[in-house]
Structure 1
């Protein structure tokens, strides 16, 4: 693959590789902006799309139920788009996923109200989330392998961190726009039409991401050999048949990380609203500040993992989330400072997982099946545990047992910590096959 002359950027990354980072990251921004806009705006649109009831949480529960359903399309996306990326290249797969996400976002923004079309309203909403779920599952499979394969030896942790740098930028855009609209529109206007604006914006900026990704260079030499007829196409489940231990290890690695991630970066503001009556607009502001802190952490922790290894980082994360969820969530009050402190402390340790997740997963598989091998078990675990976290937390509150939720997080963290200590081998110095 041809490269441009190696002149260095301010952070020491060759400019030719910076273009690769931008191609993956900007598209990923679009993907996750659309995905998280749903979470941040669920309290506003749920009453518009679902039937009204006397219980205040029923419509919100329905919205989070659809959120969870969208997650269950992610394994399918990880499998099918991952297999597509292994056969036809990472670039082609990333182009496909961003088109899907833009279509899903547009459909969300144009969803009619329940009052106007009845049951067709939640059906359209669910269809949009299914489209987005397929896209996000495929995005992780293609973009993470693309990032790690673009990295030079000894820098894969740093490059891996840009997966969540770009994800967090997307969250910041979604959170920031939602916070701006919530503070500038009265509650009635926000509930009637304001929530649609971020989804329409997401559909528009997906076109920008599509344009940027067209300038990327392919990273999979195996995919190019397949296209030239010099290598056989991998079978759909070849990664599972040939590398079952690696697939199972990804599940164990991911269980704790996905629940902690979706709780701390997305659900915690909502959790504060339904438990301590935290102001909705202020909770979005706290979330925005916390996400910026989280984004800055990623490359720093990624570089640290390139020095000390992946295992110490993951063990630090695991032990912290065995110990911290119960005391941290018990500290929540309706003050700005309490929610901010809880989010920042959790995100500090969460970054030890997110910054290197893409590298760890990719380093477990050879190039031939890397996208599907890393994408499917990861997305399946996220669907089972991450996507259901907001739904479970809200349901426990509705049942009067909200204090159980942090214990649930700690139990899952214990499982993953045992995997980090006893199963996972250090991979930072191993060359990608």
Structure 2
């Protein structure tokens, strides 16, 4: 791979990491700042409040996906990447400085909600532009390998958020952490987002975008639905199941280990940090396997395997007391999940032609992910509060079944990639 192409992939990935750091800082620290914005009620009630705001952020993602998907198709991939990280800067800075409920009352959770909506718009636009940019910049032979770095950086962002959380917990008292220390993480995220905005303005544009005809069809929902309805619905379905599984086994599990298994907050954070490091490092391996054996075998391994292990894994973790055993139990679904995450963005990009690719990747993905990935934590806590926590385990299993049907209906995009037409 030439130096210019490698620089572009590294640059796009670095920006993706910062985007997802800012997004996950909220989830990583919500256990700490829940009482700041939702002071009344027990821990589960407070977590329901922060989870509801988390879900609303997800509901903004289809809007961001649509607006910035069209923007990236019209004005370029790097322009879309710069706009998305600019919005993330604004949302993160708002969370960093907003006073708590005790100071400004109901305005505090309202501003938190607004900031999360901006972050939702940002991440909604980021996914499509980033997936399209990395897929178009990669070479055909190693497209699965290089595209896997979208989730390397996505998980890397989550790990950075967890690392900052661990550091703050180590150097600050619980009282200082709860009153002001958590804000440091959002200041860091805002500053990094500003730096990456400047960097993304100087990225190279992809050949796929530059080679598009000036009289190309316009990107938009009607054009997308009219020309690609089957692909649209397949992306919604796989994003619903894949997104639900991803957030169930990464974001929510940290709270599950505290709120159900009974681990201390710091121990749960350490378990998830170790698990996610291994998960992150496995992505290029799974991407390489997809280059060699095809996309569908990897996707079906995830779907069928996930249906088999979801209920047993959650059931075992619910009563687990050993941190080491919990770690190895979590690694089973995460390794299956890696078969999906490493190539999920690539598969979607390979389904659509260049003039509508960013929108085709982002918009149906955001619909499925917002409806079921973004609400995973809220659904899990609802089942728990209702006294039927095991219902969530079957909920995950059911949507993995839907995703598996969609995987069966997908073409083998290793051989039918629309990127080859650019």
TM-score (norm 1): 0.93
Is the CA contact 1:30–1:205 (under 8 Å) kept in the aligned structure 2?
Answer: yes
Report deviation, 1:241: 1.6
| C-alpha separation in 1, matches of 2:169 and 2:325 | 21
- CA gap 1:310/1:37 in 2 versus in 1, 3 angstroms: same
In 1: Cα distance, 2:159 partner to 2:87 partner: 21
Deviations 1:239-258, CA, capped at 9 Å, x for gaps: 12211111011112222211
- Higher mean C-alpha deviation, range 212-221 or range 92-101: 212-221
Shift of 1:276: 1.7
CA contact (8 A) 1:68 1:391 kept: yes
1:165-189 CA-to-partner distances (Å, cap 9, x unmatched) read 1111111110111112123322222
* Offset of residue 347 of structure 1: 1.0
Cα distance in structure 2, aligned partners of 1:123 and 1:223 = 42
CA–CA distance in 1 between the matches of 2:91 and 2:151? Answer: 22
Alignment of 1:6-405 (within 5 A): 13-53=1-41, 55-219=42-206, 221-222=208-209, 225=212, 229-332=214-317, 333-405=320-392
Deviation larger for 273-282 or 234-243 = 234-243
**SS state of the match for residue 276, structure 1?**
coil
The 1-side partners of 2:301 and 2:334 are apart by 13
Q: Do the aligned partners of residues 198 and 249 (structure 1) sit closer, same or farther apart at CA in structure 2, a change above 3 Å counting?
A: same
Q: Distance in 2 between matches of 1:349 and 1:102?
A: 33
For 1:46 and 1:368, the matched residues in 2 are separated by 43
DSSP 3-state at the match of 1:76 = helix
Structure 1 position 428 matched with structure 2 position 414: yes
For residues 202-257 of structure 1, the C-alpha deviation after alignment (integer angstroms, 9 at most, x for no partner) is: 0011122123212211115446756xx54453344311221111101111222221
The answer to whether the Cα contact below 8 Å between 1:165 and 1:298 also exists between their aligned partners in 2 is yes
* TM-aligned CA deviation for residue 430 of structure 1: 2.9
CA contact (8 A) 2:36 2:102 kept: yes
The count of residues paired between Structure 1 and Structure 2 equals 417
Confirm or deny: 8 A CA contact 2:219 2:359 kept in the other structure.
no
Structure 2: segments with no counterpart, 5+ residues: none
In 2 relative to 1, CA 375–220 (structure 1 residues): closer, same or farther, beyond 3 Å? farther
Determine helix, strand or coil for the equivalent of 1:384. Answer: helix
Query: 2: CA distance between counterparts of 1:93 and 1:294?
Result: 28
Shift of 1:38: 0.5
Contact 2:216 2:355 in 1 (8 A): no
- Give the Cα–Cα distance (whole angstroms) in 1 for the partners of residues 170 and 389 of structure 2: 28
SS at match of 1:365: coil
Distance 1:354 1:417 in 2: 14
Query: RMSD in angstroms over aligned alpha carbons?
Result: 1.4
**Aligned equivalents of 1:221, 1:57: Cα separation in 2:** 48
- Distance in 1, matches of 2:207 and 2:75, equals 9
Structure 1, residues 144-174: CA drift from partner, whole Å, max 9, x if none? 0000011111221112101101111111110
1:49–1:122 CA contact under 8 A, matched in 2: yes
State the distance in 2 between where 1:125 and 1:154 align: 44
Question: Shift of the alpha carbon at 1:20?
Answer: 1.2
Unpaired runs of 5+ residues, structure 1, are: 1-12
